[in-house]
Structure 1
Amino acid sequence: MLASVAIVPLNHMLRGESWARKRLQPCAGKTARFRVPPFFDLAVIIQPTGEVAAASTVAGNDAILTIMPALLPRLLVRDEAAYREIRISGDSVFGQEILEIGQNLRWDVEQDLSDVMGDILAHRVVRAGENLAHWHNETLNNLSRALTEYLTEEQPVLAKPTDMRTFANEVSGLQDQVSRLELRVEGLINKSL
């Protein structure tokens, strides 16, 4: 059941992106396993058309892509660094090809909605969704800044970055002074001997 829930939308996106299917066609017959421990474990086999199908549980895995759960939000917002943190075992060339396709595969939500509700309404729904996402990000950024300011200014639980730099510079200067003092003491000891 989980396989069909994941594979149907993936194939839908692949059908909308012929370049991705063309890149997958030479990999026909290869199996990739996607793991998000402990939540998700899905094996797919590449079809000659460039689409994917559920692989049997006994099939070998050409590539295993392990995604830690903490990476999922970053992958959803297409954080480039998150893709580099996905572990690939087995056929690394095949696994890297899948990652590159995944990075560039896009779902044309507006096109799918326009088939159901018309072009104008679909366009407005997508724009409203984008505006909502933008508002959400701005709200989180503002809340983060306000919380940081509160914890550094109002209730000083955290140190201010400028105070930390000053402290680090003072520690470094103190280390230099101690080193010079050690050299002087050694020089005085050597003179008295």
Structure 2
Amino acid sequence: MSSAIATAPSGAHRWLILDRDGVINHDRENYIRSPADWQPVDGALDALARLHRAGFGLTVATNQSGIGRGYFDVPTLDAIHARMCAAITASGGQVAAIAYCPHCPDAGCDCRKPAPGLLLRLMTECGFAPGDALMIGDAERDLDAARAAGVAALVVGERATELAHAFGVPGFADLAAAADWLLEDHWPC
């Protein structure tokens, strides 16, 4: 499943595929079940705005098994994403597209990360190639999905050092630190 939100910055030649929970917003043990549950990670909105202004296309790839588990429905997820996109836009950023997997982990689908389906869907919908993309995640599944899709990756969050070492990718404390690095003209592709 996916939903186009806006258009990419004109001339975008570098695209970011961002995991949602733990990267853009705080993760919750019992799922983000309503728009009120969605709370951005400190510095994330500003980081996305800075990246957007620098010409990066912004997309989101997120597993949302809460739908398959019956914790919330698609209209609720759409409302959560509307709140997220409104906050990003208000900060000066813009999300081009969001792709999500509504399936439970045992569904055997090709979209749930670590499968590459969400990333491949975003590349097709937004018209960019693996070499023009960078996955920013906070878990093994994000890095495995990037590897399977042929996309470079970096990792943020509490496990960044451990995962960066294990996967041989750059690691940062949070999205703000990753944005600083990317805006210094680092591009791991």
* TM above 0.5: no
Which structure ranks higher in relative contact order (CA pairs < 8 Å, sequence separation ≥ 6)?
2
Structure with the largest fraction of helix: 1
Structure with the largest fraction of strand: 2
TM-score between the two structures when normalised by the length of structure 1:
0.27
TM-score between the two structures when normalised by the length of structure 2:
0.28
